[in-house]
Chains A and B, each alone.
Chain A
Amino acid sequence: LGDDRLVLGHRVSEWCGHAPILEEDIALANVALDLLGQATMFLRLAGEVEGKGRDEDALAYFRETVQFRNCQLVELPKGDFAFTIARQFLFDVYAVTLLDALSHSTNSELSAIAAKALKEATYHVRHSGEWMLKLGDGTEESHRRVQRALDDLWRFTPELFASDDTDRAMLAAGIAPDLALIKTKWESLVRDVLVRATLTTPHDVPAPRRAGRTGQHTESLGHMLAEMQIVARSDPGATW
């Protein structure tokens, strides 16, 4: 949860000063800030649960690529605006459905963070959902670009819902929800918007994989982390 938001927040922040219009520059910067704020809360909790004295900064700046547990969807380079919006939309719908369920977690700290993050995620999904309609049902070029982005991104979505033993143990303990149910909700929400946006839902990809969740990442995560971690690693413990 923390790594997804840390990595995506960094990717979204790459638009700061580069977005097509001023309002969008501000909107994406705000989304990035929310995601980093949520990452801070989740990683702080993860560090506390681990009990080895690692805080959120230690987890963000001093882990290697293979130790990151984010899904591959969030680490892909930002691409063009259509790619960023399509990725954001697929993630935002996943975020609201998952956070909604996690806000009822039996773990009170997790449920508190999820309830807070859910409020923010509702505005994120309004934002990206609105843009899916504008781009999909917009010009010939915007339609073509967002459809291509969707087709490219689709194969990274099964990972969001693939369970392993840890997920099953958390489900049994009432800490985390059944990802199969999250997938059903996600699909119906995504399809609802894609139909209205005159976009074609890509064909399903057969085998769900847990690539990023087990530390197997695309090449681009390493490049991103190198940039993100360089200052903290050059002068460990620096404060300003």
Chain B
Amino acid sequence: MVARILPTRDDVLAILDSVMDPEVPVLSVRELGIVRDVHVGDDGAVTVTVTPTYSGCPAIRVIEQDIIAAIEGQGIAPVRVVTSYAPAWTTDWISAEAGAKLKAYGIAPPPPVGAQSGDLVQLLRARPAVQCPYCNSRETDVRSEFGSTACKAVCWCRTCGQPFEEFKGI
């Protein structure tokens, strides 16, 4: 009988770097900040803790399946994915590097959110202009707060005439 070499946490994290978000395929699930923890048990069982971006995000089940398939594809099993809701996902967990990838893909990266201000009145006022990912102009309009997915808004650049999406800060 051959002794089984247990995978390390870093092994699993490296595999997760290759699991892309199905709706924003330039970012991995780690870059998106939805992988909150990876645990490798004494028996080699892997538990990946994820948090959904939006509570109704239809991609979360696909993401779970992709994570399990990628890790098991490397001969590591069993794999379990658990969901955690606290702390709530924030776009602040998307790194500047990942933001640059979004911009190159034509999606304006999310603005910093910081701590929730609690100023509800401000919610009902205009928000700062989004920077066009193509020409960097701030002469832009938000056409709709909801785009092709819940996490994106539809914008229009008045300078270069290009429609684009913004990854909304939450």
Contact = CB atoms under 8 A, between A and B. Distances in A.
Given A26-B144, A116-B85, A193 B124 contact: yes
Interface of B is mostly: loop
Given A100-B120, A123-B168, A116 B146 contact: no
Interface residues of A, number: 42
B55 A122 contact: no
Interface of A is mostly: helix
A30 B150 contact: yes
Interface in A97-151: 97, 100, 103, 108, 111-113, 115-120, 122-123, 125-127, 129-130
B148 interface: yes
Contact of B120 (A37, A97, A108): A97
Contact of B55 (A34, A100, A108, A188): A34
Nearest to B154: A23
Interface in B17-67: 52, 54-58
Contacts of A126: 123-124, 127, 145
Taking residues whose C-beta sits less than 8 angstroms from the other chain, chain B's interface range is: 20 to 34
A189 B148 CA distance: 29
Interface in A1-57: 23-24, 26-27, 29-38, 40-41
B127 A112 contact: no
Interface in B103-150: 116, 118, 120-121, 123-124, 127, 143-150
A192 interface: yes
B170 A120 contact: yes
Top 4 closest pairs, chain A to chain B, by CB: A37-B56, A37-B55, A112-B86, A33-B56
15 contacts: A27-B144, A33-B58, A37-B57, A41-B85, A97-B120, A103-B116, A115-B88, A116-B85, A120-B56, A123-B146, A126-B123, A126-B127, A185-B120, A189-B120, A189-B124
Given A26-B147, A37-B55, A117-B55, 17 more contacts: A26-B144, A30-B150, A40-B56, A97-B120, A108-B86, A112-B86, A112-B88, A113-B85, A115-B86, A115-B88, A115-B116, A116-B86, A116-B89, A119-B88, A120-B150, A120-B170, A122-B170
